[in-house]
Amino acid sequence: MIAIIDYGVGNLFSVEKALLQLGAQVEVTNDESVIRQAQKIVLPGVGAFGDCMENLRASGLIPAIMDMVQQGYPLLGICVGLQILFEGSEESPGVSGLGVFSGTVRKIKAPGLKIPHMGWNSLDVAEPHQPIDLFAGLASIPYVYFVHSYHAVPADKDIITATAEYGETLTAAVARGNVQATQFHPEKSGDVGLDILKNFIQG
Amino acid sequence: MYTKRIIPCLDVKDGRVVKGTNFVGLRDAGNPVDLAARYDKERADELVFLDITASHEKRNTMVRMASDCASQVFIPFTVGGGIRTVEDMRIMLKAGADKTSVNTAAIKNPDLLRQGAEKFGRQCIVLAVDARRNGEDSWEVYINGGRTPTGLDCLAWIKKAVALGAGEILLTSMDADGTKDGYDIALTKAVSEAVDVPVIASGGAGNLEHFYDVLTLGKADAVLAASVFHYGQFTVRQVKDYLKSRGVEVRF
Give burial (CB, 10 Å; 0-12/13-18/19+) of A149. middle
Out of A117, A119, A194, the one facing B5 most closely (by C-beta) is A119
Mean pLDDT of the residues in chain B: 91
CB A124 within 8 A of CB A152: no
What's the confidence (pLDDT) of residue B55? 63
Sign of the alpha-carbon dihedral angle for B252, B123, B71, A26: positive
Q: Reply yes or no on whether the pLDDT at B188 is more than 70.
A: yes
Other C-beta atoms within 10 Å of A194: how many?
17
Mean predicted confidence (pLDDT) in A9-13: 78
Domain span at A81: 2-202
B45·A114 Cβ contact <8 A:
no
* Residue B7 · residue B203 · CB < 8 Å: no
Instruction: Give this complex's ipTM.
Output: 0.91
From A31-35, A131-135, B157-161, the region with the lowest mean pLDDT: A131-135
CB contact under 8 Å between B123 and A143, yes or no, is no
- Whether the per-residue pLDDT at B26 is higher than 70: the answer is no
Option in A143, A164, A165 nearest B251 (CB): A143
**Mean pLDDT of all residues belonging to chain A:** 94
Q: Are A182 and A78 in contact (CB under 8 A)?
A: yes
Least confident of A11-20, A178-187, B242-251: A11-20
B74 with A190: Cβ contact below 8 A: yes
Q: Residue B179: which pLDDT band, with cuts at 50, 70 and 90? A: very high
Q: How many Å apart are CA B110 and CA B161, to the nearest integer?
A: 7
Task: For residue A52, indicate whether it is catalytic.
Answer: no
Per-residue model confidence as pLDDT tens digits over A56-91: 999 999 999 999 999 999 999 999 999 999 999 999
A81/B172 Cα distance (integer angstroms): 36
Residues of A with CB under 8 A from a CB of B: 11, 13-14, 17-18, 21, 46-47, 113-122, 141, 143, 145, 147, 164-166, 187-190, 193-194
Residue A186, preceding bond cis, omega within 30 degrees? no
CA distance B233 to A111: 38
Q: What is the pLDDT of residue B227?
A: 82
Cα first-last separation, chain B: 12
pLDDT reported for residue A169:
98
CB contact under 8 A, B70 and A17: yes
Q: Above 60 in pLDDT, residue A192?
A: yes
Beta-carbon contacts of B113 under 8 Å, excluding residues fewer than 6 positions away, are B102, B106, B125, B127, B161, B164, B165, B166
Give per-residue pLDDT as tens, B99-152.
999 999 999 999 999 999 988 889 999 999 999 999 999 999 999 878 899 999
- Report the residue of A11, A122, A151 to disrupt the B interface, i.e. the one with the largest count of B CBs within 10 Å: A11
Contact assignment for B3 to A143 by CB distance below 8 Å: yes
pLDDT-based confidence at residue B22 (cuts at 50, 70, 90): very low
Residue A71 has what pLDDT?
97
Cβ–Cβ gap B1/A121 under 8 Å: yes
Distance from CA of B133 to the nearest CA of A (A): 27
The β-bridge relationship of strands B125-135 and B77-80 is: unpaired
User: Are the beta carbons of B198 and A117 separated by less than 8 Å?
Assistant: no
pLDDT at B23: 32
Nearest residue, CB atoms, A188 vs list B74, B197, B222: B74
* Number of domains observed in the structure of chain A: 1
Task: Enumerate the β-bridge partners of residue A171.
Answer: A163
B148 CB-near residues (< 8 Å, 6+ apart): B142
pLDDT at B19: 62
Q: Per-residue pLDDT for A15 more than 50?
A: yes
> How confident is the model at residue B20, as a pLDDT?
41
B9 contacts B20 by C-beta, under 8 angstroms: no
Express each pLDDT in A113-163 by its tens digit: 888 899 999 999 998 777 789 999 998 899 999 999 999 999 999 999 999
Q: What is the pLDDT of residue A203?
A: 85
Q: Which residue has the higher pLDDT, B22 or A125?
A: A125
Transcribe B16-85 into DSSP letters: EEEEEETTEEEEEEE-HHHHHHHHHHTT-S-EEEEES---GGGHHHHHHHHHHHHHH--S-EEEESS--S
d(CA B226, CA B231): 9
The answer to whether A146 and A184 have CB atoms below 8 angstroms apart is yes
Residue B243: band (very low, low, confident or very high) from pLDDT cuts 50, 70, 90:
very high
Q: Which pLDDT band holds residue B28 (cuts at 50, 70, 90)?
A: very low
Residue B167 is classified by DSSP as -
Mean pLDDT value of segment B196-218: 96
Model confidence pLDDT, tens digit, residues B29-83? 578 888 898 899 999 999 999 998 756 667 788 999 999 999 999 999 999 998 9
Taking contacts as CB-CB distances below 8 angstroms, the residues of chain A near B74 are 14, 17-18, 21, 187-190, 193-194
What are the two backbone dihedrals, phi and then psi, of residue B139, each rounded to the nearest 5 degrees? -135, 145
**A185 given a catalytic annotation:** yes
Would the pLDDT of A101 be above 70? yes
B86 SS3 class = helix
List the CATH number of the domain containing A105: 3.40.50.880
CA distance B235 to chain A (A): 18
Asked whether the beta carbons of B163 and B190 are under 8 A apart, the reply is no
Of the partner residues A18, A117, A121, the one whose CB lies closest to the CB of residue B74? A18
Q: Is the pLDDT of residue B25 over 70?
A: no
Considering only CB atoms, A114 lies closest to which of B1, B43, B196, namely: B196
Please judge whether A188 and B76 are an interchain contact, meaning their C-beta atoms are less than 8 angstroms apart.
yes
Sort out which chain A residues have CB atoms less than 8 A from B123's CB and list them: 116, 118, 147
**B42: closest chain A residue by CA:** A190
Three-state secondary structure of B215-244: HHCCCCCEEEECHHHHCCCCCHHHHHHHHH
